[in-house]
Amino acid sequence: MSEKIILTGDRPTGRLHIGHYVGSLRRRVELQNAGDYKRMFVFIADAQALTDNVDNPEKVRQNLVEVALDYLACGLDPEKVTIFVQSQIPELCELAFYFMNMVTVSRLQRNPTVKTEIQMRGFEQSIPVGFFTYPISQAADITAFHANVIPVGEDQKPMIEQATEIVRRFNNIYGETLTEPKIMLPDNAACLRLPGTDGKAKMSKSLGNCIYLSDSAKEVKKKVNSMYTDPEHIHIEQPGHLEGNTVFTYLDAFVTDDDFAAFLPEYACLDELKAHYTRGGLGDGTCKKLLLNVLNARLEPIRQRREEWQKDIPAVYEILRKGSEAAREVAANTLADVRRAMRINYFEDAEYIKQQAAKFK
């Protein structure tokens, strides 16, 4: 049997978009369906979302169900994957509390993801302690389940490195207890960090440059038509540039040869289309139309499944409740091992209490 324990999660701060899809969601569904794992967990990191949304709990609460719907819409199957809610597993806080003793402030300050996020949010001197330490809490999320395969986007790399360091430190001090995680990155470079529709480096809700999984066909059309391409490609005859051309980045992330057969049979594959574009004589309109067709082909089944689940919201909450219960059982087992390893399992062992009694006689 496979030894893989797969785990990954998302902060519920907005609906999920196609950047999440190519960066991680698509892979999760493939992993789920391949079935080569001992156990697979996907969770909604609501406690982590609160680290920089302390004054907006309603936003986190609302997006919990949105993200759950996105999961189910993408095809995650609660029969195969344990879907749970971070805040419902108090053992994660306990583990994070012990991990805090193993990480220095300067190590956290060097975490590149935390660094950029602090800048992005304009935190400077007003960083909440909880936000600053979320890499430690994330290490707890991973290790409480002995997860060893973490399918995430590239921006999460520093988090997995931090978790690995904590595991090594813990096992070194207290004996082999926890499992080292390994990151699983998307294999296609375009999927590592999908830019926004405006060509800016990152697709993000605050920049308003996202295509959401739940966008209607009409919304997707509007967004694709206004997408950033090559500003110097004004007339069709002119040679176009692919570098920084968002339409082509998206095509790289989404299109297959079968899509050409279905939507643009004049070309066999993306390389042919690119060659024509760079040679000149191919308009942005044709490329956008292809992209739109491909996106809608991918998104349509997702939209339909979402609509079905939206008709039964109590069932969605029930999936989360049951998943959280199952996840808690696993985390509680790990924490029992952790307490034992840390010598803080005082009341577990009658023999030990007897020995202590003898010592004080």
Is 144 one of the binding residues for ligand TRP (CB under 6 A)? Answer: no
Is 143 one of the binding residues for ligand TRP (CB under 6 A)? Answer: no
Of 73, 90, 84, 88, which is closest to residue 42 (Cα–Cα)? 84
Per-residue buried b or exposed e for 11-29, using 16+ beta carbons within 10 Å of the residue's own CB: bbbbbbbbbbbbbbbbbbb
Residue 53 Cβ vs ligand TRP, minimum distance, rounded to whole Å: 12
Q: Which is nearer to ligand TRP, 168 or 354 (CB)?
A: 168
Is 48 one of the binding residues for ligand TRP (CB under 6 A)? Answer: yes
Is 118 one of the binding residues for ligand TRP (CB under 6 A)? Answer: no
Token pair, residue 181, equals 């995680």
Candidate list 66, 141, 230, 259; residue touching ligand TRP; CB under 6 A: 141
Q: Which is nearer to ligand TRP, 150 or 227 (CB)?
A: 150
**Are the C-beta atoms of residues 197 and 245 closer than 8 Å to each other?**
no
Is 87 one of the binding residues for ligand TRP (CB under 6 A)? Answer: no
Please give the sequence-ordered ranges of beta strands (E in DSSP) within the chain, or none if there are none: 5-10, 39-44, 82-85, 149-151, 182-184
Q: Is 340 left (phi over 0), alpha (psi -120 to 50) or beta?
A: alpha
Binding to ligand TRP (CB under 6 A): which residues in 121-140?
138
**Are the C-beta atoms of residues 73 and 214 closer than 8 Å to each other?**
yes
Which pairs with CB-CB distance under 8 Å and at least 24 residues apart come from 242-248? 242/274, 242/277, 242/278, 244/199, 246/195, 246/196, 246/197, 246/198, 246/199, 247/284, 247/287, 247/288, 247/291, 248/274, 248/277, 248/287
Print the binding letters for residues 233-272 with ligand TRP: x by CB under 6 A, - otherwise. Answer: ----------------------------------------
Is 11 one of the binding residues for ligand TRP (CB under 6 A)? Answer: yes
Q: Which is nearer to ligand TRP, 158 or 283 (CB)?
A: 158
Is 8 one of the binding residues for ligand TRP (CB under 6 A)? Answer: yes
Kindly compute the dihedral angle of the four CA atoms of residues 52, 54, 56, 62, in this order, to the nearest 10 degrees: 80
Binding to ligand TRP (CB under 6 A): which residues in 177-206?
none
Q: Point out which span in 148-156, 188-196, 243-251, 266-274 binds ligand TRP (CB under 6 A).
A: 148-156
How many residues bind ligand TRP, per CB under 6 A? 13
Residue 40 Cβ vs ligand TRP, minimum distance, rounded to whole Å: 12
Candidate list 9, 12, 19, 23; residue touching ligand TRP; CB under 6 A: 9
Residue 345 Cβ vs ligand TRP, minimum distance, rounded to whole Å: 26
Alpha-carbon distance 43 to 7, whole Å?
Answer: 8
Residue 28 Cβ vs ligand TRP, minimum distance, rounded to whole Å: 11
Residue 142 Cβ vs ligand TRP, minimum distance, rounded to whole Å: 5
Q: Is 169 left (phi over 0), alpha (psi -120 to 50) or beta?
A: alpha
What residue ranges bind ligand TRP (CB under 6 A)?
7-11, 45, 48, 138, 141-142, 150, 152, 156
